[in-house]
Structures are given as structure tokens and as C-alpha cells.
Structure 1
């Protein structure tokens, strides 16, 4: 009776969680979660300088040239308000968690992305219930009025800082940053390269505190309570509850930690009540608690991958191991025990087989997790790590050992014993080995596959199919699998038939001050003209803007890339594009650049065996019914694309003298990409001869004089409209943004 009652409770909880998730999805589709709540501080006019009063409710985080924290507001310009604000302070300050402050700065609402497929920072903040940002540039604008920290949170932040300080003082910079991620989930010190290799090797999850960390903490303290202090079993379980909650607070209480914490607490409470543990019950209960606290956490990538990986391991691992369990020890490893010698051989064989089983277990756990998160990795990061199945076998055991050494290192620093030096050396060497192995796995050719962004229907059908494969003997699941396969095949065919095969589409991506133009021709072939580029070495436009846009359009191959000049804001983004896509031909001129990034581009082109065509004289070629002309002028290429009655002229950094020269080469154009990013006044002769209907300006901010000069034309600037797309069937023109 009790068993049936428990089963009914489990089913009820799972149903309740699924219904609640469906409700959240419906509300998201209706746009409910994208609305700023009433009376929220974000409803005030953005762009103005305001004074906010409130309490700092997060530990101020130092990164690059700014300090960031969340402010729980109660006043704006001495008027009562409410809501959380992300504050970025660009001066040195000693602000602490719990401080009551008055801060003056520029107030604004985060913008939506201007390029489709790129990271939506506005939505990311909205899902954390943060709807506005305050930027502070003067120390005089910050006044600490009082301090009212929560004792528990203050203690956890202090302990977190002490742990980080111990690692910083005793380990090399790189090892300190990695060990901080492994033990308490602190990733602010990780370099972009370290993050990249951990991702490419498929082991980024070890830098996110998750179930294994929480379970390890529970096991360690349970052992101490039972074997050192001789505490009774139930009391030991009870003492674990505050310790696990405190550890979750130290790590920042992110979704994987909360999920693991709730599941561990459910197991402990079940033990205290002397009941059987149901793992699925624990998972769904953890999900329900997190989503009740903040429903939009459902759309957080970390939340989805954490639960997908956990359910994947629980569901697939036993099934994988079941197939392996059918195979017995080979005969030569399992000899009959005729004598002592043969007994020894059998003992060795059994131990050897146990080791093989252990390795297979890690492999199968990794495989189960990778299958479960593969579509999510493709959707959010456009990559799937193939090497992860192998790398995890070597890395996971080392991670557990480094987790132990990390905590011992901190304890040794408190006691101040000679053990501190030894422990520090061991920890440093161990983490160095982890980084070395991960770097090795990440740089194996084809260790990671870059893929386009899969549609939502594909992800849903993928999960239905992989679950159904193990239930194919059941009649209903057999037909579900057949139907899923049919849908998976029909939708792409339908989308292809729906595509207008007479349409030329040209998109000017918003890359700030620079050019990146994607052309899709009527026959389906494509071309990328320039790739943008930022002068900030920390920001890769190719990786963060151009590539996501192309992946979002389901692009994996580019027929032609044309680099029109040698300036960094034209070619820097192409480095990542050449790494991420299959390029059939790279067209450029013989100009030379002395910048290091240009040599990086040439190196990437060489490594990828991309055919290069250098233009020194006028070049003409056709793409379906489109005629493309490329003309070299000094250190730039000028391009003209014609499709029936439609024509586009792409001019880059050309002087007035060059504008006058090419005026005789081109007649009226429908579209003109304004030279020099709209920063310099145009030649009157050039403008009168070209006489464009539309003037496209790819820039961060066009010159007012140029805007005045173009007032009789239809002006579209990426600084105002974001990404601009022009569609034409050769006669009619449609401009969208």
C-alpha cells in the first residue's frame, strides 16, 4: 500500500511539473515574461543621469576594467521605486555585499540584438529579473549610507573570497583560475583560450559546480561525522543539510548547484524518514522548486543542459550497461582454478576486468550525457564535441582528485602547517596536468564539429526518437518513431519547396564600424563580402556576430568570400569564419597588411586549404542570373552585383578621387553601400552619376554632413536600423531590418 502510494505521488509530481513547464512555455510565447513589471525602476526614461538608492545584493565582481553588482533599489531620485538594477562601475571602489548606497550614473535599458542568431543579452538579463543597467564613471557619484548584510550570505561570500585568495597566493595564475572553477564554480579568472579548450574537449561541465561536487561534500562530511565524531547515522544526515545549503551559497547557487542541492537534500530527508529513494522524483522535484522561484529559468541554457545531462545518465546508462553485461569474461582471462598459480591468474584477470568495467562505466556515463545534451549544445553553441567521450575518461578522475586537493589546500592555509607548501605544489601540478591533457584533446583535428542552429522541432523529435529506440518493441512507440522519422524528413523538403528560387537576398550585418555583407543568390549559392572586425582584441566579431548569423540561417558552406581591403574592420572577423565554415574560394587583391591579425587570417586560410584567388585586373563571373563585377582600385576592391533590373554598388574606403574615377564605369544603381562608412563627404559627381534609390551605411555613427548630402535618397544605417536585408526578384526591391 505504501509502495503504491509512493508511486502515485511520484506520478502526480511528474505530471504537475510537466503541466507547469507547459504553462511557462505558453506564457513565454504570449510575451508575458518580456514585459517590465509595474512600478519597476526600469520604466523610467532611459538615457538620463539618475540617482538610485538601494542595497547591494550580490558580491561585487571585478572583471576587466569594471566592477559589477546587482542593486535592489528602493528610491530613484528620492522617489520610491522597486526592482533590481545591474550596476557597472568603471572606477576603483571598495563596495561590499550588503552596503546601502546612493549611486548616480547613466541609466539605460539593455538593447535587443541587432543581428539575428546572436546572443540576446537583454533577454538574458530579463530572465534574471534585471530590466535596466546603471553605468557609473566617477567615484564621487558613489556614497555608502549604511551596511545591512545577511549574516549567512556575508559569511558565504567571505569564505568564497578566502578560498579564492588561498588559490591566488599559492598557485600560478592559470592553475588558480581553473581550480577555482572546479571547486566553487568561479569562472571570472578564466582566459578565453582556457574556456575554449575546455569547451572543445567537452569538459566545460567540470568548471560548473554540479552534482558530483555536492555529493562529494556530503560524503566527506558524512564520513567525518560517523568515523571521527562517532555521531549517530540519522543525526549525521541531519547535520549534512545546513552544510550542503551553505556550500550551495558559496558556489553562487546557480541552476546546476541548486538542482544537485535539492536532489541531495531529498535523498537525505528520504533517508531520515527511512524511505526508498526515487531518483526521477528527486529530479522533477528539484526542477519544480527552481521554476517556482523563477519560471523563466526554464529557458536558461545551464538549467536545460544540467537536467538533460542528469536525466540522460539515469535513463541511458543502465540500458547501455545492460547490453555490455551480456558479455562474460573471455576464456583466456577466466581460467579454471586448478592450482594456486591458476587462482592467481584468475585474481589478476578479475581485477583487470574490474578496471575495464570502471573505464567502460566512465565512457558510458559520458556517452549518455553527451547524447542528452548534444542538441542543446548545437542550439546554443553550434558545436558538438566528438572527443568528449574519450577526454572524460582521463579528465573526470583527475577532477575528483583536484577537488580533494583544492579543499585540503584551503584547510592547510588556515592551519598554516608545512603541509601548505606540499599541498600547493601537488595541486598546482595536478591542475597543470589537467590543462595539458585538455589542451591536447581540444587540439586533435576534428575533435569538435561546428553545426548550424537546429530548429526547435528537430530537438523535440531528436529526444522522442532516442527515447523511443529503447521502446521500439512496444506497439505505440513503434508508430511514434515512424511518424517522427516521417516528420523529420518532410519538413526540410517543404521548407526547400517554399523558398523563392527567383529571389536575390543581400544582408548588411550590423558589425559597427566595418563591413560584413552576406549574399544569397537565386540558385541557393552564397557569398560573404568582408567579415567585420573590432579593434578590441577581446571581442571576436567573426565568432560572436557573423558566424552565429550564418549558423542561424542553416549555413555550413560558403561558396565565395571576398575581402575588399586590408583594414582590420573588414578582415578580422573572417579568421573565425574561415575556421568555422567550409569555404570553396577566397577572393582578394594583392594588397599587404603588416597587422598580426592579417597573418593569422593567411595562416588559417593555409591550414584549411582554402583556394585563394588574387585579383589584379577586373574580374567578372556569374551566379545563376546574377552578374558580379570586381574591380581593383589602389588598395580596395569595388564590387557591382546586377540581377535583371536590380543593381548594387559596394564601395569601401575610397577617396573622392577614386569616386570620380569610377563614376565613368557605373551608371545608375538601385543600392549604394556608402563609402568610408558614411564618415566622409561624398563626391558630388559620383553621387549624381550613381543616383542611388537606397543608400546603405554600415557604421557605428554616420556623419551629419553625409546624411545631409543623402537627404534626397532613402537612407538605411546599421547604427539606426541594425541588420538590413534587401530582397529583389530582379525588378521589385524590398528592404527589411
Structure 2
């Protein structure tokens, strides 16, 4: 029944999403212009305002409006406004590992982004309730920055009010790396404790009727949920708490798993695409792991020691959510359960003292400035704790993104282990499966497949019992060691070539055996390419170290991502950088040289005839007088059996003529399998004579949609079609993957689109 309702709700949501208010009007405009351009005017009502520093986001129906804070300072929730600006579709992620803005906003019912040039209020009427809660939230957040230092105010604003605008990004990454970033979200656990505390106070101390107590506490929780912006964890906690109140009113027993199921159903009925969000899956998997894994194990073994209780509880929750953590974040904190064991108990003290200091500050500032030292000391302790653990080996274990198959295998084995650890296995197992006393709580298919494991367990148990070792201790520790290994990315036994969708620029990642190689990585349209595209892509591929980086030339659309890894990132290392020989005395490469020297990375300069691993450099020549940066480009030929690939950087027609003047090289590059089309498809490269010589089967065009250069130029597209070159374009296909299998190239695209 739940499944039928969910499918029906998704279909309704799809209809609203595709036919909702503003949709037709905006689609007609975008189609008549382009997905990235056009001056657009629309009237609508403000649904929500989100202020983060100097960035303002306004929600209006299916549109997110990016506006200047100064221009929007008089706006209120519920105002009717006229907005003029540029509108575009929200795009899908186009590379593995990249954050999918489309699916995130899809869950919120948002389809378009509008960058406002001008806004004016046409009706000043507003929603008093929503505007009041927004104003209270802004007031409290502003006061926090007056009471506490920067780190504490940012932590408190995020943990209490769900506002991360004051949070330091480096500090957030430190907490995330060590597994306590969840403390920066409004905790459902603390919401539940707060709600129950209010209820018990009204019930026990003031002696009100339980219906009145439940209604009052429930109303306070709903108001608090609105105050925090209603994140999923808070909505879940509020619904579960309301379920607990209703259960008491009806005289029924409260069940954690049932309450979580009701909360999940309510959220999915309102926003069905939340099912695909990391926050929803992690929040509910943690709750179900408490009710179905941790609590039964602790009860089974009657664990009363507080330290051991917390340790087992934390380990089991981490193991239950580990597949989701590695799927969405590509790594897991090895010492996270230990850090949480220390950090979580302090969180209640932090919340109480920080809220007390905030309230007291309004009445008596000197007293508040004394109280503030307690939460500030706690945050300082968190930072020192995470910094210390970060220095330990394997603090954060990189797994890459596991496949769905790996996740299924993990949970099957986890369920088998859970059955063994929870239920007594008889000393002798009869051959007839029906005589095995299985419990009805475990699905039949898992029980059936577990018979071999249980028989093996029984034999081992008898042997270990004789030696005095407890089998369940072995199983528990074995689980911690063996299960996470299932989630590590399965290494490929074939060469892989990935053309990353960088926007306007080039980025190629190649996996040959155990070697990880980059040929360029940069973008002019994606300003944070290194941080939000390249690094997540490499982590998704489980890359910790890059053995070789070829920088074809110095242009920023080929180097910005590599410069990010060299200058800002400290998680992905680079062993060797190769530059074109003309760069030897060229000051345009000084920034790369300085960054490499700071990381103690070796630099080599290559020219025609140099071999690096499986690559042969065929351009440039040892001519340091080449002034045109594009003509300095390294051109690399890769051979594997009958497969041949040519990577041309931005080499132009002058470089192509020099290459064709060498008969030996002409023989090598004739009839290639794969060509990275030169200079993003510009008419300054890919001359007809050169394409005729290469006679490539496949051509890859790397460029950004709607770029100001007009790439790819129609002359190049015509030549490629004339010589029957099958083209793939990153602007249309997203990331393009080429797998070399038995001298054959298997090509797949991330966005499942190709020009035949």
C-alpha cells in the first residue's frame, strides 16, 4: 500500500513539476533564447528568503532567485514582486562524484534559477507568521556573532538554527573528515529530548492534563521546526515526537521503528524525491539502526557499562550507515565512532550554555560574556580533538563510490551477522533446514542463504569454546574489519580514459593499471572547478595519488583544477608534472613551478620523441622560441595493442604541419582510434589535411555550452562529418568514458547522449 501511494505521489509531483505555475511561461522564454541567456521578466509571490552572508536566495514557486542583499533588503515573505534578470534550467550533474543540483532542487520543487538584475515590490502584503519566524531567526543569528567568537557563533548558528552562513569552511571540512559534521545540523535527537522535556515539565511539575501537555509541546516543536527552516532531521524528529504524544493519548505503546516509518511516509507524501537525498537516507537509516540493530544487541548482552554501551552503540550505527556514507561521500572516518563517543555527550552542555548565553545577552551582557566561555571551550576542544585525530594514519579512509551490487552484498552479510549475534545457534544443526529454529524477524531468503554460514559458525564455535575464546567477540571484531572492505571501489583491469565535463576547458583522467594520470584539468566557466568537480571526481574514482600530470600549456582553462590541487588541497597528492619544453624559460609557467616546488613535486620538460610510460610526445619540438602558448601544447600519442589515441591540447595548425612533416610520426598516427579534437573544436586547429591523415574513428570535443568563443566552429564540425568521425561532446554528453577492452574501445556517456 505504501509503495502504491508513493508511486502515485511521485506521478502527481511530476505533473506539478512539469505543469506548475510559471513553468510554461519560463520554458517558452528559454526555448526562444537559450538555456543560458535572455532578459526575463516575471511577477510572483515570495515563498521563502534565505540569507547567507552577502548572498540572498529567494524562492518563488518553481524558481530560485539569486539577488543582491542591498537590492532586496526591504523584501518580506509573501510580498508580490516583479523580477527582471536571466533565467536558466537547473542542470543535472555531468560528472561522477559531482553534486547533483537538479535532484537536490527537484526534491524542493525547484526547476529554474533566475539571476536578478532588478526587483520591485508590486504588493507589500506579506505572510506575518513566516516573516516573523524568519525575523526571529535572523535576529538570533546576528546576536550570536556578537556574543561568541567566530568559530563558536558559526557552530551554534548551524546546530541550533540551521544557519550555516557564519560557519568557517575549513572548520567544517575538518569536522566532516573526522565524522562529527552531523553535530552542525539541527539534531533530531536533541529536538526529541527538548520536546519530551517540555512535555514532562508540563505534566509532572505544572500538573496539566496530558492532552494539554502534548498539544503545547507539539506546538512548540512545530514552531521550532519553522524557526530552523524545517530541515529533514527536524521534521522527522517532530513527527516522531507527535506520534509519541498521540500514542500516549490513545493508551498505546510507542514504537521507535513504527514512528520512524510514519515520519518517512509523511515526508515522502509531501516531497517524494527526498527519497534520493543523502540527508533523508542517512537520517532514517540511523534511526532504524538504533531500533533494529543497536538496541536489540545491547539488550541481548545486557550491556550496562556506560562506556561499553556508548562504544557498541556508536560502532553499530556507523556500520549500519556505512554503505550510504561511502556512496555519497566516497570515504569514511576510521576513528569517527571514538570521536563521537567523546563529542556527543558534550553537545548537550554546549546547546544549554550557548542558548543560556544568548538569552542572557539580551538582558545582561556582562553575565553573558562570562557564560560564553563554556561553549567556546567546548568548540576549541572539538577542534583540537579533530586536529589530533587527523594526524593519525588512515584518519579518513578513501573507498570511492561503491556499486549498488556491493551495497546489497554488504547488507546481506550484515543481516546474516546480525542473526548469528542475536539468536542462539544450537550446537548441532540438522540436515533438514525446516528443523532449524529461525526467528520470523529475519526474511526467509536471508535465513535460507545463511545456513552454510551458520554451520560454519557452529563448527568454529565448538573449537573456540574448547580454547576459551568467545565466538561472539570474534564475530563482532571480525565484522568491523571485514565488512567495510566490501565497499572499496573494485579496481578495473582495463585501461580507462575519462574526458571530464569541465565546461569551457579540458580535463582528461586516465587509469592504466595502477597508474593514475591527468592530462590537463581546468575551466574558465566553472570558477570552482577544482573544488566542486575535479576533486569529487577523483575521490569518487578512489584516487589518492596521481603519478603523472601532463600540463599541455599554461592557459587557465587547462590548469585551474591542477592549481587547486597544488595550492589548496592536501588530500590528493601529485608525484610528477610534465611541461612542454618551450616552458623551460617561459614566465607564464612560474605559478605552476612555484606551487610544485612548495609541494616538492618533480617537474620534467618534454618534447618530440620523449616517451613517458605508454605515451609518446610528438609535439612540440625543442624550440624555446615558440611565443604562442597554444602552439607550445604537448601532443601525446597513446598505444595499446591496435588501439591508438591522440591528445592534442590546444595545438593549432602550425603544430599540425610540423607533425605531418615527419614521415615516421605520420606512420604512427595514421588511422587512429580516438582523437581529442584540438583547441575545443576551434577552426585554428583540426585542419582537413591533418584529419585526413589521422582518419580517426571517434572524436571528443571538450567545450562549454553557450561559450563566448562559439566552439565548436562549424568548419571543424563539417570536416569531422566529412571523414565520418563519430563525435562525442562534453557539453551534451557530460563526462565521456572510454574503456579499452581487447583492443576495442567501449564508450559510455554520463548523460547518455551522443551525436551519431
What TM-score do you get using the length of structure 2 for normalisation?
0.75
Whether 2:107 is the aligned partner of 1:127: answer yes
Does the alignment pair 1:218 with 2:195?
Answer: yes
2:519: which partner in 1? 530
- Determine the structure 1 residue equivalent to 2:79: 99
Q: Measure how far apart 1:437 and its partner are.
A: 2.6
Residue 144 of structure 1, CA deviation: 0.9
Shift of 1:664: 2.6
| Alignment equivalent of 2:270, drawn from 293, 299, 308 | 293
Q: Aligned pair in 2 of structure 1 residues 726, 389: CA closer, same or farther (>3 Å)?
A: closer
Alignment of 1:45-64 (within 5 A): 45=28, 46=30, 47=34, 48-63=38-53
Alignment of 1:663-674 (within 5 A): 663-665=660-662, 666-667=665-666, 668=670, 670=672, 671-674=674-677
Contact 1:363 1:392 in 2 (8 A): no
Relative to the length of structure 1, the TM-score reads 0.77
1:115 aligns with 2:84: no
Correspondence for 1:479: 448
| Structure 1 match to 2:243 | 266
- 1:682 alignment partner in structure 2: 685
**Is 1:707 aligned to residue 713 of structure 2?**
yes
Q: Which of 342, 350, 359 does residue 307 from structure 2 map onto?
A: 359
Q: 1:722 maps to which residue?
A: 734
What aligned pairs does 1:316-355 form with structure 2 within 5 A after superposition? 316-322=293-299, 325=302
Contact 1:451 1:556 in 2 (8 A): no
The equivalent of 1:38 in structure 2 is 19
Does the alignment pair 1:145 with 2:122? yes
TM-superposed CA distance for 1:206, in Å, is 0.8
Cα distance change, pair 285–381 in 1 and its aligned pair in 2 (3 A): same
**Structure 1 residues 577-622: Cα deviation after superposition (integer angstroms, max 9, x where no partner):** 996668887655685777667655565576xxxx887657843366
Match of 2:702 in 1: 698
Change in 2 beyond 3 A, CA 1:273/1:672: closer
Choose which of 249, 252, 256 in structure 2 pairs with 1:275. Answer: 252
Verify the 8 A CA contact 1:182 1:207 in the aligned structure 2. yes
Alignment of 1:154-233 (within 5 A): 154-222=131-199, 225=202, 231=208
Question: What CA deviation, in whole Å up to 9, does each residue of 1:506-527 have, x standing for no partner?
Answer: 3321112332213356xx5665
Match of residue 8 from structure 1: none
The answer to which of 367-376 and 315-324 deviates more is 315-324
1:572-721 equivalences in 2 (<5 Å): 572-574=560-562, 576=565, 615=606, 618-620=609-611, 628-629=616-617, 633=621, 636-643=633-640, 646-654=643-651, 658-665=655-662, 666-667=665-666, 668=670, 670=672, 671-678=674-681, 681-682=684-685, 687=690, 690=693, 693=696, 696-700=700-704, 701=707, 703-704=709-710, 707-710=713-716, 711-714=718-721, 716-721=728-733
1:200–1:385 CA contact under 8 A, matched in 2? yes
Q: Distance in 2 between matches of 1:599 and 1:388?
A: 36
- Post-superposition Cα deviations, 1:208-239, rounded to whole Å, max 9, x if no partner, equal 11222212322453465468756566543432
* Conserved 8 A contact 2:49-2:56: no
CA distance in structure 1 between the aligned counterparts of 2:327 and 2:657, rounded to whole angstroms: 48
Matches of 1:557 and 1:698, distance apart in 2: 25
Is this contact kept in 2: 1:266–1:282, CA < 8 A?
yes
Once residues 122 and 571 of structure 2 are traced to their aligned partners in structure 1, the CA distance between those partners, rounded to angstroms, is 51
* Contact preservation (8 Å) 2:503, 2:526: no
Residue 427 to residue 272, structure 1, CA distance change in 2 (3 Å): same
The Cα of 1:247 is off from its aligned counterpart by 0.9
Segment drifting more, 431-440 vs 292-301: 431-440
What does the per-residue CA deviation read over 1:601-654, in whole Å, with 9 as the maximum and x for residues that have no partner? 565576xxxx8876578433665xxx6446565565331123455533322254
State yes or no: 1:249 paired with 2:226. Answer: yes
Q: CA deviation at 1:468?
A: 2.9
Question: Does the residue aligned with 2:362 lie in a helix, a strand or coil?
Answer: helix
1:37 aligned counterpart, secondary structure: helix
8 Å CA contact 2:504–2:525 kept in 1: the answer is no
- Give secondary structure in 2 for the equivalent of 1:59: strand
Whole-Å separation in 2 of the counterparts to 1:69 and 1:230: 45
**Which residue matches 1:447?**
395
371-380 or 692-701: bigger deviation: 692-701
CA positional deviation for 1:175: 2.1
**Residue matched to 1:80:** none
Match among 512, 517, 520 for residue 508 of structure 2: 517
Distance 2:416 2:360 in 1: 51
Aligned CA distance change for structure 1 residues 150 and 109 (closer, same or farther; 3 Å)? same
Counterpart check, 1:539 vs 2:515: no
Instruction: Identify which range, 680-689 or 251-260, moves more after superposition.
Output: 680-689
2:453 and 2:329 mapped to 1: Cα distance?
25
Moved more, 673-682 or 292-301: 673-682
SS of the residue aligned with 2:372? helix
Conserved in 2, the CA contact under 8 Å of 1:42 and 1:109?
A: no
The 2-side partners of 1:462 and 1:164 are apart by 42
State the Cα distance separating 1:713 from its structure 2 match. 2.0
2:178–2:395 contact (8 Å) kept in structure 1: yes
Q: Which SS does the other structure have where 1:471 is aligned?
A: helix
| Matches of 2:83 and 2:650, distance apart in 1 | 43
With over 3 angstroms needed to count, the CA separation of the structure-2 counterparts of 1:54 and 1:734, relative to structure 1, is: closer
Tell me how many residue pairs correspond in the alignment: 655
Residue 56 of structure 2 aligns with which residue?
67
TM-fit CA distance, 1:686: 7.7
Give unpaired runs (5+ residues) of structure 2: 426-436, 439-443, 455-481, 625-631, 722-726
Q: Does 1:389 align with 2:337?
A: yes
